[in-house]
Amino acid sequence: MSLFETTTLLAAGAKGGGQIADAAQTRANIFEMTQAAEDAVLRPKDCGAFPHDLRAALAARIAARAKDMELAQRYAQAAGARTDISYPAQNGGTDDAVLVAFVDKVAGATKDIAADDIAQLQNAGVSDADIVRLCELVAFVAYQVRVVAGLRLMQGTKT
């Protein structure tokens, strides 16, 4: 995969040869590691309780709630049967209510998270290891959404 085929630079619309591309080249290692991090949270070998399609659906949802439909659509393509939670208007039914509420709050209202939010997941039977996996997924997509938004602004592209 070339630098400009990483999800982050593709979603930002950064192509080789331009002024922004030159800046991105100076930090090529960072964009390559960002892609490795995406692979680790979206498509890990050890999924825990969250298979790849669910992870892709949640990533799409996080991007959509942050108003990045380009990134949301990229992730939704891998959501398989879990498109029931890919977009903010859908909550996936009662089975996923606690999970989806937690993801929405961590992604969009981080400052309001309190110990009780973790306790609710634990009470719903989510293991501590899976809570960490879930936070890593949400946190990575929150990072990626912002890198993409910033790069678009650098290029003068409307976000």
Partner 1 sequence: MSRIVHKFTRRVPEWRPRVTPVNLDEATPEQLDALKVTPSNTKVSAYVLTLAHDVESLSVRSPLFNAIMYDEGGMSRAERELGAIAASMVNRCIYCAAVHADRHAKLEKSTDVTDKLFTQGTDADLSPRDAAIFTFARKLSEGVPSASADDMAALREAGLTDEEILDLILSSSLFGWANRLMHVLGDPVRTEDTV
Residues making contact with partner 1 (CB under 8 A): 19-20, 22-24, 26-27, 29-30, 33-34, 36-37, 40-41, 44-46, 48, 65-67, 106-111, 113, 115, 117-119, 122, 128-129, 131-133, 135-136, 138-140, 142-147, 149-151, 153-154, 156, 159
Going by C-alpha positions, the residue among 101, 158, 144 that lies closest to residue 9 is: 144
Q: Which residue number, 93 or 150, has a Cβ lying nearer to partner 1?
A: 150
Going by C-alpha positions, the residue among 78, 79, 58 that lies closest to residue 133 is: 58
Q: How far apart are CA 95 and CA 122, in angstroms?
A: 15
Shortest Å distance, C-beta 97 to partner 1: 19
For 54, other C-beta atoms within 10 Å of its C-beta total: 20
Q: Which residue number, 57 or 145, has a Cβ lying nearer to partner 1?
A: 145
Going by C-alpha positions, the residue among 66, 63, 8, 13 that lies closest to residue 37 is: 8
Shortest Å distance, C-beta 157 to partner 1: 9
